[in-house]
Amino acid sequence: MLIAPCARKDVLHVTLIFILAVALLCWLWPGLWPLFVATLALVWVGIVLFFRDPERSTPSDPRALVAPADGKVVEISEDEEPHFLGKSAHKLAIFMSVFDVHVNRSPCRGRVVNLEHRPGRFLGAMRAEASLENEANLISLHNSAIDEPVLLKQIAGLVARRVVCTAKAGEALRCGQRIGMVKLGSRAEVFVGRDRPFRWRVKLGDKVRAGVTIVGEWTE
């Protein structure tokens, strides 16, 4: 099982802490060592699973917009997007639970125009106000395949308080390329301009997979 590159130090630190914890507990209560080892091993496996990074096969259709995150679609709407598009846009929000893969991927092929880190609160990511008030990374993309702007937001939540973006300004991204993660789950949003015909291919409640599920498409 692959571990996300941006989480390997976290896994190493957790592993060392768990080894020390097991050694200390077994020294203090040697008769209970099987219980300590089994319990901490299960917790360690759970934490490693949080940071898993499976390989994905991304669709090749240049008009397709793929999911930037694993999780459940919790919002499909029309909303103002002042940070990059500067106008009303199609909006899709995905909630990542602690059981989902947390690695985020580029929703389309394109160039990174701008990166912005926005400090904020840590409201529950299912709440609509988390979109505006929570800490977030804003990744502005220019879809080079069809000459359209796209904005991706990585949003922290109540548990997930660390947002990591590995993309660089000016970088050319492949559709489905890894661009970071929100550690321990949260919310990802994607905004698409309304100047060109576009339609969503998912509905509220659908489960999606980053880099695999086509969530929408430009129709001309």
Q: How many CB atoms lie within 10 A of CB 145?
A: 14
Q: Which residues of 71-103 are buried (b: 16+ CB within 10 A; e: fewer)?
A: bbbbbbeeeebeebbeeebbbbbbbbbeebbbb
Cβ(138)–Cβ(118) below 8 Å? yes
Q: 164-176, pLDDT tens digit by residue?
A: 899 999 999 999 9
Q: 169-208, pLDDT tens digit by residue?
A: 999 999 999 999 887 668 899 999 988 899 999 999 999 9
CA 108 to chain CA centroid, nearest Å: 14
Question: What is the pLDDT averaged over residues 70-83?
Answer: 92
Which domains, ranges and CATH numbers included, belong to the chain? Answer: 5-50 (no CATH), 64-218 (2.70.70.10)
Q: 8-32, pLDDT tens digit by residue?
A: 676 676 777 777 887 888 788 888 8
CA 12 to chain CA centroid, nearest Å: 21
Catalytic residue among 106, 131, 140, 186: 186
Cβ(192)–Cβ(150) below 8 Å? yes
Residue 97 falls in the annotated catalytic set: no
